[in-house]
Amino acid sequence: MRPETTIPVVRQIPTNRADVFAFTIEGHLTSADIENVYGLLEGAYEQHDKIDLLVRLDGYEGFDWNAAFKDTTLSMQTRSLKHIRRYAIVGGPTWIHMSAGLLKPFLSIEMKTFDSAEEAEAWKWIGAEAVKE
């Protein structure tokens, strides 16, 4: 019997700028995954007052709704708004693109969505590149 290997749902993408953070999300986000992402972002805010963020959603399968509305998650979301300059969302289901469009007028950050085929444009928009490890 082979041990099963699990691929992390959230993986950080190395970038060529210290103040740009990028993640790829594949699969279903659990409460632990959401807290992990916000933990990584909290570390980024300690080093940089403002950051740019790119999230790639290829293979995204949704998230635990209960986790999204926990007090700690809501607090982390609010804190993030103070530190993010630009937020690029690449890929994902149509409802995410529609939700982002509805939220844009109410947020202090610049947010833009891109189809998966437009990922190069998303990187250009935030002014960074992914680097190979």
Note the pLDDT tens digit of each residue in 3-53: 455 566 889 999 999 999 999 999 888 888 888 888 888 899 999 999 999
**Is position 58 within any domain?**
yes
**Is position 110 within any domain?**
yes
Q: For residue 61, what is the domain's CATH number?
A: 3.30.750
**Is position 66 within any domain?**
yes
Q: Is the pLDDT of residue 124 over 90?
A: yes
Domain count for the chain, please give it: 1
**Is position 1 within any domain?**
no
pLDDT at 122: 98
**Is position 36 within any domain?**
yes
Query: pTM for the complete prediction?
Result: 0.85
**Is position 2 within any domain?**
no
**Is position 3 within any domain?**
no
> In whole angstroms, how far apart are CA 78 and each of 8, 14, 54, 71, 93?
25, 25, 18, 11, 24
**Is position 54 within any domain?**
yes
> In whole angstroms, how far apart are CA 111 and each of 4, 7, 45, 122?
38, 28, 18, 11
Q: Give the domain range for residue 32.
A: 10-126
